[in-house]
Amino acid sequence: MRKNFLVFGSPLIEQPEIDEVVASMKSGWLGTGPKVHKFEEMFREYKGSKFAIALNSCTAALHLSMVAIGIKPGDEVIVPTMTFAATANAVIHAGGIPVFADCEKDTMNISPEDIARKITSKTKAILPVHFAGRSCDMDAIVDIAKKHHLKIVEDCAHAIETEYHGEKIGTFGDLGCFSFYVTKNIVTGEGGMAITDNEEYANQIRTLGLHGMSKNAWKRFSDQGYKHYQVVYAGFKFNMMDLQAAIGIHQLPRIDKYWKRRQEIWNRYNEAFKNLPMFTPAPVEPNSRHAYHLYTLLLDIDNSKITRDEFLDEMTKRNIGVGVHYIALHLHPYYQETFNYKRGDFPNAEWISDRTLSVPLSPKLTDEDVKHVIEAVREIIG
C-alpha cells in the first residue's frame, strides 16, 4: 500500500509560477494589476473571444453573468441538478430562481429534452454545465434558446480545453465562465474568468467586479498618477489579484501538455476498469474535445457487495483521495426546503448521485500514482 496520501485534485505547480509569485510579492503590487491584464489577454486569445474579464472565482463570473444578462427577481434560469452548488447559487444571488433539469445518464450533461419541458413564461436563460469536461449538446441547446428567446451562460468550470464540433466551448452562449480553482485543469489558487463577445456585458462585469467603480479604477494607485473614479453600481469585490494571475500566466501555456497527460491517465483507467462491476465514462463524442477534468466511475451497486460510501472509505484507507461529483442539487436540504424538490424528481441524476465517485486525474500524478489508484480500485472491487 502507498505510504503517503494521494490528495485528490492536487495541482502541478512548477518553478516559473513560484518565481513569478515571489516577484509580485517583491514588487509590492499584489492586487489587480498588469499581470491580471496579461492573463486576461492570454485567455482571450486562447478562446478567441472579444473580451475576457478575470475574477476571483468562477462563482463570481457566473453571478455577474446573471446580473449582466438582466436576471431580476422572479426570473427563471434552467440549470442542471447534476452540478456543483455554485451554478444554482449564482442564479439565486442575482435574484432569480434556478429551475432544475435532469441530465442524460451516459454523458451526465443536462438533457435538452428536459430543458424544453421546463420552459415557462418566466424563463430567461439556460445555464448548461459541461460536466467533467464533456461538452453539452450545444446544437440542441442553442436551438431551444433561439426558439424561446433565451440567453445562454455556459458554466465551463470543468471545460477549459473543451471543444464542440470544432468550436471552443464558452463561445456558444452569451457568456462563458471558467474556474482556476486548485483542482481545475489550470489553476490560480482561487480564480475565474468570464468571456463574451458583447462589449456591454464585458464592461458591466468589469465594473461590477470591482465595487461598481468606473473603468480602470484598479489603476488609481499606479505610477500614472492618482485617478478619480466614479461609483456607477453597487458592485462586488470579485477582482482577481496579480498574485493569482502570476500563477495563471505560466499555467496557461502548458495547458495542452497537461491535457495530454490527463488523456493518457484517462485511457489507462478505461483499460484497467473495463471489466469491473463499474461503469466507466461514456466514449468521447466525435468532432469534440473532452477536457478530461474528472474521471468518474459509477459503481454497479446492484451487483456489488459494497456501497459507494464504503468504497470511498476503502480508497481513503489505501491512501487514495477521492471525490463525489455530485450528489444532485435537488437532494440537498436548501433546494428541497426552498424550491420543494424531492427525491424522485430527476431519476437520471439520482441514479448517478447514488453510484458516482471520482478518482485522481491530475498531470501531477506519476505512473506509480496511477498504478496505486488502479490497484486500490481493483483490490476493493475485484
Ligand X SMILES: Cc1ncc(COP(=O)(O)O)c(C=O)c1O
Residues recognised as catalytic: 184
Question: Rounded to the nearest whole angstrom, what is the least distance from the CB of residue 107 to ligand X in the complex?
Answer: 14
Residue 252 or 276 with smaller CB distance to ligand X: 252
Choose the stretch contacting ligand X; rule: CB under 6 A; options: 8-16, 150-158, 338-346, 372-380. 150-158
φ, ψ of residue 244 to 5 degrees: the values are: -75, -45
C-beta closer to ligand X: residue 196 or 376: 196
Q: Is 84 in the site for ligand X (CB under 6 A)?
A: yes
Closest distance of CB 131 from ligand X, Å: 7
User: DSSP letters of 33-82?
Assistant: SHHHHHHHHHHHHHHT-SEEEEES-HHHHHHHHHHHTT--TT-EEEEESS
Q: Which is nearer to ligand X, 318 or 325 (CB)?
A: 325
Which of 157, 160, 278, 374 is the binder for ligand X (CB under 6 A)?
Answer: 157
CB of 296 to ligand X, least distance (A): 12
CA separation for the pair 54, 61 (Å, rounded):
8
Residue closer to ligand X, measured from CB, 128 or 363: 128
Interaction of residue 87 with ligand X, rule CB under 6 A: yes
Binder of ligand X out of 170, 192, 235, 323 (CB under 6 A): 192
User: Residue 298 pairs with which residues in a beta bridge?
Assistant: 279, 356
Q: Candidates 155-163, 280-288, 352-360, 367-375: pick the segment binding ligand X (CB under 6 A).
A: 155-163
Binding mask 7-46 for ligand X (x = CB under 6 A): ----------------------------------------
CA 112 vs CA 226, 277, 371: distances in Å: 51, 30, 38
The Cα–Cα gap between 191 and 285 comes to 29
Indicate whether 83 belongs to the interface with ligand X (CB under 6 A): yes
DSSP string, 360-372: ---TT--HHHHHH
DSSP 111-139: PHHHHHHH--TTEEEE--B-GGGPPP-HH
Among 102, 155, 161, 350, binds ligand X (CB under 6 A): 155
Q: Which helix (H) or strand (E) holds 352?
A: helix 347-355
Q: Which of residues 160-179 bind ligand X (CB under 6 A)?
A: 179
Determine how β-strand 51-55 pairs with β-strand 192-196.
antiparallel
Least gap, CB of 235 to ligand X (angstroms): 18
Least distance to ligand X from the beta carbon of 180, Å? 7
| Residue 187 or 202 with smaller CB distance to ligand X | 187
Closer residue to ligand X (CB): 49 or 183? 183
Task: Give the integer Cα–Cα distance in Å for 14 and 40.
Answer: 21
Q: What are phi and psi of 77, to 5 degrees?
A: -130, 130
Instruction: Give the length of the chain.
Output: 382
Of residues 61 and 380, the one with the C-beta less far from ligand X: 61
Per the CB < 8 A criterion, the answer to whether 15 and 329 are in contact is: no
**DSSP string covering 291-319, please?**
----EEEEE-GGG-SS-HHHHHHHHHHTT
59 vs 244, beta carbon nearer ligand X = 59
> Residues touching ligand X: how many (CB under 6 A)?
14
CB neighbour burial string for 222-259, b if at least 16 within 10 angstroms, e if fewer: eeeeeeebeeeeebbebbbbbbbbbbbbbbbebbeebb
Specify whether the backbone of 269 is left (phi greater than 0), alpha (psi in -120 to 50) or beta.
alpha
Options 97-105, 132-140, 153-161, 229-237: segment touching ligand X (CB under 6 A): 153-161
Of residues 326 through 365, those in contact with ligand X by CB under 6 A are none
Contact flags string 105-134 toward ligand X, x per CB under 6 A: ------------------------x-----
Q: What span, in angstroms and rounded, lies between the C-alpha atoms of 198 and 211?
A: 21
Residue of 49, 59, 239, 296 that binds ligand X (CB under 6 A): 59
Looking at 43, 51, 172, 181, which residue binds ligand X (CB under 6 A)?
181
> If binding is defined by CB under 6 A, does position 86 make contact with ligand X?
yes
Residues contributing to the site for ligand X (CB under 6 A): 57-59, 83-84, 86-87, 129, 155, 157-158, 179, 181, 192
